[in-house]
Copies of this chain bind each other. A is one copy, B any other.
Amino acid sequence: MWKFNAKTHYIAELRGLEEGENVRLAGWVQRKSELGGIVFIRMRDATGSVQVVLREGNLSEQELTAARGAGIEASIIVEGSLRRDPRAPGGLEVIASKFILVGDSKDFPIKPGVGEEFLLDNRHLHIRTTRMRNALMIRMEVMRATEEWFVNNGFVRVEAPTFVGAAVEGGATLFEVPYFGKKAYLTQSSQFYLEAAIFSFENVYTIQPSFRAEKSRTRRHLTEFWHAEAEMAWADLNGMMDVVESLVKYIVEKVVERASDKLEALGRRMEAIEGRFPRITYDEALELAKRKGAEIEWGEDFGTEVERLISLEFDLPVFVTHYPKKAKAFYHKQDPKRPEVVLCADLLAPEGIGEIVGGGQRIESENELISRIVEEGLNPEDYKWYLDLRRYGSVPHSGFGLGIERTIRWIAGLPHIRDAIPFPRTPVRLYP
């Protein structure tokens, strides 16, 4: 770990040192108490926390006064010697020989009992709490594992633009941006751009923000979310599901391996996934949901509640395939054996979480694509470059998008998606 001059060690490094070694630590006051004139400070840094013991004789009166006055979250630098003490939390403490109050902190506002809205309004401070730190470290591991899987499997990273010129999937949930006298929209998905890139690199991906102007205030929607997307030349629906299954298993495996302490601290039990993910059709899922009391007709897309019912029936993530054509976007390839359904698959995470991945096989024929665009009441002129991809050496291909925050919410067992991202954005939340 990169280290600056303020400290000789990170707290996590103390474990490997000898008793009596001199260290200089820099961090923040997590807790403080005084017993018989001795000040005990629980000090945290980026890597952990340790007890610091400050007593007369070792420190000047000024230093002791500063230590006594230091508020919760004050920043401090401590020099001292390491002592192993089984009574100390973690079995270690630092006997201070020098104390510097770097930046004081009075009445740190994040306290037990404050409300949810207050915490969101003070997100810039709330992220310092142990719970948020654990959630965000799990987030980082999910992001890293996702990137790693693609690197390990030879996918080429290709970034798509955020500004797009046309309202690709229809305009209901698009953010519009004035753009030098024209109109631009914020991307909802990198899919079309990744489809262009398969002709260069075959298997491509990106991990970047997507935007949805959805007014729905649910526990699983954000207006801005991180989206891992991939497109693969020569992949059919089953090939795509194999990729998604391998990716999701890898993410879970690596998070469990690298952040088990964070999962545990959040009270989450999670293990690497052994079995194959079940693959059921929309029709089967529909029957299942109906048996559970859902009122839904064949042809409708599954909403949050129906997905919840289905996913509660499985211990593993489950693929739901072959949705009705009319429930899905125009670019999905129809099943040649049954043209009223398309070759698509959503992956529903268990425990009621619902969709974390959506994908499928894309139409590769120009004529078929034009027919579907027209059938949906859209204008083929708006899809000129996208149609070009079917004019010059078109190939069968499939792709998918994985919602990073939904995946984190599932793996970390978070009650609300907003805690899966450092600074959440919803229709009513633009601050801090």
The chain A residues found within 8 Å of chain B, CB to CB, are 1-2, 4-7, 26, 28-29, 45-46, 73-75, 102-106, 108, 122, 124-125, 127-128, 132-133, 136-137, 140, 143-144, 147, 151, 153-165, 175-180, 182, 184, 186, 193, 196-197, 199-203, 208-209, 211, 213, 215, 223-224, 226, 232-236, 239, 243, 364, 385-386, 388-396, 421-425, 427-428, 430-432
Protomer copies: 2
Given contacts A4-B234, A162-B211, 5 further A-B contacts (CB under 8 A): A26-B233, A46-B156, A159-B421, A160-B422, A161-B224
Are A390's CB and B186's CB within 8 A? no
- Chain B residues, CB < 8 A from A153: 1-2
Residue of B at shortest CB range from A46? B202
Are B364's CB and A103's CB within 8 A? yes
Are B422's CB and A162's CB within 8 A? no
Q: Shortest distance in angstroms between A170's beta carbon and chain B's nearest beta carbon? A: 18
Residue of B at shortest CB range from A147? B147
Are A103's CB and B390's CB within 8 A? yes
Q: Which of A147, A163, A208, A394 has the most CB of B within 10 A?
A: A163
Known: A179-B175, A431-B385. A159 touches B422 (CB 8 A): yes
With beta carbons under 8 angstroms apart, the residue of B182, B196, B393 that contacts A105 is B393
Are A393's CB and B29's CB within 8 A? yes
List of 10 A-B pairs having minimum Cβ-Cβ separation, nearest first: A1-B154, A103-B394, A46-B202, A6-B234, A385-B432, A75-B393, A124-B196, A105-B392, A165-B430, A4-B234
Q: Which of A124, A186, A394, A424 has the most CB of B within 10 A?
A: A124
Known: A74-B393, A75-B394, A393-B73. A2 touches B162 (CB 8 A): no
Are B73's CB and A423's CB within 8 A? no
Are B102's CB and A394's CB within 8 A? yes
With beta carbons under 8 angstroms apart, the residue of B28, B124, B136, B177 that contacts A389 is B124
Q: Which of A160, A236, A428, A431 has the most CB of B within 10 A?
A: A431
With beta carbons under 8 angstroms apart, the residue of B186, B391, B428 that contacts A180 is B428
Residue of B at shortest CB range from A395? B75
In angstroms, Cα B213 to Cα A177, docked, is 11
With beta carbons under 8 angstroms apart, the residue of B1, B127, B182, B386 that contacts A200 is B127
Are B102's CB and A423's CB within 8 A? no
Q: Shortest distance in angstroms between A152's beta carbon and chain B's nearest beta carbon? A: 9
With beta carbons under 8 angstroms apart, the residue of B125, B175, B226, B424 that contacts A392 is B125
Q: Shortest distance in angstroms between A283's beta carbon and chain B's nearest beta carbon? A: 26
In angstroms, Cα B203 to Cα A7, docked, is 13
